[in-house]
Amino acid sequence: MSASTLNRVFLASIFLLYLLVNVRSALQEDAIIQASSTESADTVKEEDCGCSSLNREKLVDRNGEADVDHGEGESEETSGPSKSLDDDHGTEEDPALKYRAEANENTKLWNEMVHIEGGMFTMGIDEPIIPLDGESPSRRVNVDSFYADVYETSNAEFMRFVEATGYQTDAEKFGDSFVVETVISEEVKKDITQAVAAAPWWLPVKGANWRHPEGPDSNITKRMDHPVVHMSWADANEYCKWAGKRLPTEAEWEYATRGGLENRLFPWGNNMLPNSKHRMNIWQGKFPTTNTGEDGFIGTCPVNNYKPNGFGLYNTVGNVWEWTSDRWTIHHLKKFLNNPTGPETGDKRVKKGGSFMCHKSYCYRYRCAARSQNTEDSSAYNLGMRCVADRLPEGVPEVKRPSQ
């Protein structure tokens, strides 16, 4: 190559670099403008997993799919629903094995509750990590005593409800639900023509529901001890009522999740990896393309995995998002509240805890104070619940909270 050719290549490279930098900053500015112009999550926020934008009325044509920026390190090796199933963790060399619970019985119901002694706590935080979610200000809150499910609602428990009542979930009634692209089989994906406008890695999958989490060619046979997913708020509310329970208020959920510790990021403290050990099921790798499953799981984990918090609750943060009874607002006052129940009106409900799809770079919401929302009929691959009750329902086993 001659010196003049090298010179031209060099100049062309500089020009391309200039263009890339400018286009990128223009896109970032656009994202920030969109995010700050509304409290609605219809537009994806900067650093957002997009799971608050799931709405069947906000879909776009997938033809632009090739333009979606999947970032560096894109890899197909983590794709496929089998990666989220038990089958995928059977080798002794797999370092993730150490995070798995002992063998679980598929038939167990996982409906135990623990008594939560009421009290005062600090809800929210003063220095919000995601201000647009309304995490601040902190306020002193009192909640009365209640019982809380020790686990997220399992597939086994939800199946018991469906078998007793014939209940059809919103995902079944609509005929579809939202699934993240990387776990959908090629066979199913080829017929999907739409994507979520604000988060194109979420696709509406026909036939996806709690029995078929990744689409019609998947099942929950080996996941009866995993949390039920594709739950709309209405589904979660109906299930809890049937079980003699109810959805928690946001204050009850956060009080229970904090487990008796004040002003901590996580239920166990501020260190995400105490003693270099994972305590919850979130996303390691690069969202949304590469999930290394370093915490033991690509998809959901059994509801009794990892250590419980100080009140004996498992997987409050991570694994699946959990619905609350509160309607959504981001406006809070710094004043004392007694058993708050959220706004009187509004068409969205608060969900808490983040999910196995949360990564710090995109969705740092696996914190006690973090929060998000969806409309009442939205359902998704990472959306479930846990119930609470004012009195222990008949036939429900009570477990003692761990000794402090």
Least distance from C-beta 266 to Ca ion, angstroms? 12
The span of 127-135, 191-199, 214-222, 319-327 binding Ca ion (CB under 5 A) equals: 319-327
Rounded CA gap, 277 and 274, in Å?
A: 6
Which of 259, 353 has the CB closer to Ca ion?
353
Task: Give the contact letters, 197-236, x = binds to Ca ion (CB under 5 A), - = no.
Answer: ----------------------------------------
Q: Min. distance of Cβ 316 from Ca ion in angstroms?
A: 5
In the complex, minimum distance from the CB of residue 249 to Ca ion, in angstroms, rounded to a whole number: 16
353 binds Ca ion (CB under 5 A): yes
CB 353, min distance to Ca ion, A: 4
Which is nearer to Ca ion, 5 or 91 (by Cβ)? 91
- The least CB distance from residue 16 to Ca ion, in Å, is 37
Nearer to Ca ion, 198 or 383 (CB): 383
- Residue 187: phi and psi, rounded to 5, are -60, -45
In the shown chain, the binding pattern of residues 46 to 85 toward Ca ion, with x for contact by CB under 5 A and - for none, equals ----------------------------------------
The Cα 403–Cα 345 span in angstroms is 40
Q: Which is nearer to Ca ion, 218 or 324 (CB)?
A: 324
CB of 27 to Ca ion, least distance (A): 29
Closest approach, Cβ 186 to Ca ion, in A, equals 23
Binding to Ca ion by CB under 5 A, coded x per residue (else -) over 276-315, reads -----x-------------x-x-----------------x
- Separation in Å, CA 153 to CA 98, 144, 168, 393: 24, 23, 17, 15
CA 323 to chain CA centroid, Å, is 10
From the list 90-98, 264-272, 331-339, 350-358, the region that binds Ca ion by CB under 5 A is 350-358
Select the span of 82-90, 168-176, 216-224, 351-359 touching Ca ion (CB under 5 A).
351-359
Select 281 or 309, whichever has its Cβ closest to Ca ion.
281
Q: How far is the CB of 152 from Ca ion (least distance, A)?
A: 5
Q: Nearest Cα to 200, choosing from 289, 322, 132, 328?
A: 289
Give the nearest distance from C-beta 30 to Ca ion in angstroms. 31
Between 239 and 356, whose beta carbon lies closer to Ca ion?
356
Amino acid at 121: F
Candidates 106-114, 229-237, 263-271, 273-281 — which segment interacts with Ca ion by CB under 5 A? 273-281
- CB under 5 A: which stretch of 88-96, 121-129, 208-216, 275-283 binds Ca ion? 275-283
How many residues of this chain interact with Ca ion, rule: CB under 5 A? Answer: 7
Binding site for Ca ion (CB under 5 A): 281, 295, 297, 315, 319, 353, 356
